[in-house]
Structure formats: C-alpha cells, structure tokens
Amino acid sequence: MHLNGAVVFVTGGNRGLGLAFAKEALKRGASKVYVGVRQPKNFNVENIQAVELDVTDPESVQRAAAACGDVNLLVNNAGIALLSDGALDPGLIDQSERIFATNYYGVVRTTQAFADTLGKNAPSAIVNVLSDATWVSAPMLAAYAASKHAAWSFTNSLRLQTKPRGIEVLGLHVGFLDTDMTAGVDVPKSDPNDVAAAALSALEQGSYEVLADAGTEKIKASLSSDSPAYIHPDLPF
C-alpha cells in the first residue's frame, strides 16, 4: 500500500520507534496520523493527533478504534521489555504475564478492534513490530523473546486471513534500537528513524517481512545453518 493519502494509527507513538513511525508516515504524505498513547495530555507534536490508548485495557482499545474509523494503516508498535534471570527464574511466569499482556495480547486485541475499519478502508495494512529476539536466544530476555515469538506467529496467521479482505500484513524484525527501552545498554544500536523508514519503504514495495539491520539479516540466515542463532547464540552467525 502507499502512504500518500493514508490514515495511520501508531500504538505507543509518543516516543521511540512509534514516534519515528508517525513522523515518517507524515513525511510520506499520510493525510492523517493518530498516535495511541496512555497520556494524550502530555503529547503535543504538530500534525499528529493523540488518542487515549492502553493496549492492555479492552475498553480503551475499543474506544480508540471507534473514534478512528478512517484508519487504513495500523502500526502495532507499543511494547515493553523486562530482564529476568532466565528460563529458570521463579518470577518468570509473573513477568511473562506482564509482558504478554502488552506485546502479545495487546497486539491481538488492537488488531481485532481495528480489523473491520481496515477492511472497510482497504487497501489497508498492518505493521507488527517484532524483534530479532524472535530468532536468537538470550536467557535474560526469555519472557520478552517468547512474547515476540508469539506475536510473530500471530502475524503469520493474520496475514493469511486478512489478505482476501485487502489488508496486507508486514512483520518488522529488528535488533537494538536507540530508544528509552535500551537506555544504559552499551551495544551498537539502530536509529529508530532509519528503521521506521525501512519498514514503510518495505510496506510500499509490497513486502511481507522486513529485516531492518544487518545483524537481524545474519540471525535469520543462520536459522537453516548447522549453528542457528537460537541454539548457538555464542558463535558468529
């Protein structure tokens, strides 16, 4: 689909990658850009409309979808990351419930709430923000990786069902980004503006998946090798 004239809704669009998506959509000619945010009063960016949204709250999601009946591109970006002591951490179930509430059920809930609108306004699209953590193992990110893996699986089921309704689905996989989420983590990071631009270019080219950095490309390429990144994250891939 093309961004020129599109009406875009970005969840968690008040900062980080979400705000980069909102600004990039405007640059590409979107006629309206909404950001779904938990504190709309604190958001003031020219030409971007804030709508109250908490993806963990079913009523909030229904209200946002009802208020934005002109949307034809939904970007499921809102997400949280928490660190643990790994797969055997006794707190992992509680932590997983918190992370899944946002990163998985939040994506499912928001997608379902906007589905009729997107179908009515087709050609339409959904971009789901995933992660390279889907394919590479890091015990301290066990719950986060599981949530993104689940969201990836949902993305792939969804694509098959919405295509006949004129709704394309793009999965964005990316490694570390220079946002609040990784503040204090001293590793090379991608610029969220570059990543949003790469994702929207891929969408405009009709792609179903975008790997937004070289590391993510290598991780995915390793999956069918003798040392896939999910078994040997310690080896070069």
Ligand X SMILES: NC(=O)c1ccc[n+]([C@@H]2O[C@H](COP(=O)([O-])OP(=O)(O)OC[C@H]3O[C@@H](n4cnc5c(N)ncnc54)[C@H](OP(=O)(O)O)[C@@H]3O)[C@@H](O)[C@H]2O)c1
Contact predicate 32/98, CB 8 Å: no
Choose among 125, 129, 25: nearest CA to 76: 129
Tell me whether residue 30 or residue 195 sits nearer to ligand X (CB atom): 195
User: Helices (DSSP H) in the chain: which residue ranges?
Assistant: 16-27, 58-67, 92-103, 105-120, 142-162, 192-204, 214-222
CB of 188 to ligand X, least distance (A): 11
Tell me which residue has tokens 């709430």. Answer: 113
Work out how close the CB of 53 gets to ligand X at its nearest, in angstroms, rounded to a whole number.
Answer: 5
Find the binder of ligand X among 43, 176, 208, 230 (CB under 6 A).
176
Considering only 31, 49, 56, 193, the residue that binds ligand X (CB under 6 A) is 56
Q: Does 78 bind ligand X (CB under 6 A)?
A: yes
Q: Taking CB under 6 A as the rule, which mask of x and - marks residues 20-49 in contact with ligand X? A: ------------------x-----------
Q: Is residue 228 involved in binding ligand X (CB under 6 A)? A: no
Q: How far is CA 87 from the centre of its chain?
A: 24
Contacts of 116 (CB under 8 A, 6+ apart): none
Query: Is the backbone peptide bond immediately before 192 cis, with ω within 30 degrees of 0?
Result: no
Q: Is 171 in the site for ligand X (CB under 6 A)?
A: no
Q: Would you count residue 196 as binding ligand X (CB under 6 A)?
A: no
186 vs 226, which CB is nearer to ligand X?
186
C-alpha to C-alpha distance for 223 and 200, rounded to whole angstroms: 25
C-alpha 165/C-alpha 116 separation (Å) is 9
Q: How far apart are CA 153 and CA 56, in angstroms?
A: 19
Complex with ligand X: residue 18 or 171, whichever CB lies closer: 18
Least separation in angstroms between CB 165 and ligand X: 25
Give the Cα separation of 163 and 153 in Å (integer): 16
Three-class SS state of 32: strand
Applying CB under 6 A, the span of 13-21, 67-75, 85-93, 228-236 interacting with ligand X comes to 13-21
Our finding on whether 63 is near ligand X (CB under 6 A) is: no
- Residues forming contacts to ligand X in the complex (CB under 6 A) are 11-12, 14-18, 38, 53-56, 77-81, 102, 106, 129, 131, 174, 176-177, 179-182
